[in-house]
Amino acid sequence: MWQLIKIELFKIFRKPRTYIAFAAIAAIIFFVQLAFYIDGEKYVSFMMASVEGSFTLEGNMMNGYFIFFIILQTLLVHVPLLISLVAGDMIAGEANMGTLRLLVTKPVSRASLLLGKFWATSIYTILLLSFMAILGLFGSILLFGTSDLVVFKSDKLLLIDKGDIMWRYFAAYGFAALSMITVASLAFLFSVFAENSIGPIIAAMSVIVLFTILTTMDIPLFNSIKPYLFTNHMLNWKGFFDRPVDTGEVLKSALVLIGHIFFFVSLSLYIFQKKDVLS
């Protein structure tokens, strides 16, 4: 299996489209950091406007932890598209090039081929998130320094001591990885059906956009199905920035995401085993 994963990773990192995601993330992080570096005080003043009369905050509020928190909120909405670019191409791209025939006629089981591709996609997803974390967190710390983190919630303002932040970011990173692997496995599932990668990318993004709309709309009919939508659980990385952390809720969301990954990959396996390769 490791041999197959290595082959798939080799192929992924030889494709120019792989680097689009890294370049996009680097550009977004750079522009957010630049914007805060030049004009961050105005943003912070705006955020604080509603609570200015109640109390005063002293210290370096616009620090590296705060900037990365903003970056995470921004990026984790867009990263699914970047992940779908690669995950949606894993099978459909091979079908399009005709190389799926080549793979399926080799003495390797179809299940191994598919799982090799899935693990490689997951590793790519983790590497992309790590790149984002390193550039976003450590880059922001270098530029803006460290201090306590102020988190704006809908009904409260939470102040987290700087010594209590790093583990939250590591935990949030793990949770975000799980969320993004769920997205990757969805695009991967669509990829099994298609013979070019555009279809799976659009299909995966359409599902995410639709589910996100259903998640955010506060209508009783939708509220009843929200617990079953994976998009409802994807943003629960923010749970690690509560005090105290609602471990039960975060764990529940993680299990729902794992369940979705298992379901999407199992379905992909079932379909791929039965698929006639006609490309």
Residues making contact with another protein (CB under 8 A): 3-4, 7, 10-11, 14-16, 97-109, 274, 276-278
Nearest approach, Cβ of 2 to another protein (angstroms)?
A: 11
Nearer Cβ to another protein, position 195 or 242?
195
What whole-number distance in Å separates Cα of residue 67 and Cα of residue 72? 9
Nearest approach, Cβ of 185 to another protein (angstroms)?
A: 23
Nearer Cβ to another protein, position 72 or 91?
91
What whole-number distance in Å separates Cα of residue 43 and Cα of residue 46? 5
Nearest approach, Cβ of 158 to another protein (angstroms)?
A: 48
Nearest approach, Cβ of 125 to another protein (angstroms)?
A: 21
| Residue 28 per-residue DSSP state | H
Nearer Cβ to another protein, position 3 or 45?
3
Nearest approach, Cβ of 104 to another protein (angstroms)?
A: 6
Nearer Cβ to another protein, position 11 or 238?
11
Write out the H or E segment, with its range, that includes residue 159.
Answer: strand 157-160
Nearer Cβ to another protein, position 11 or 226?
11
Give the length of the chain. Answer: 279
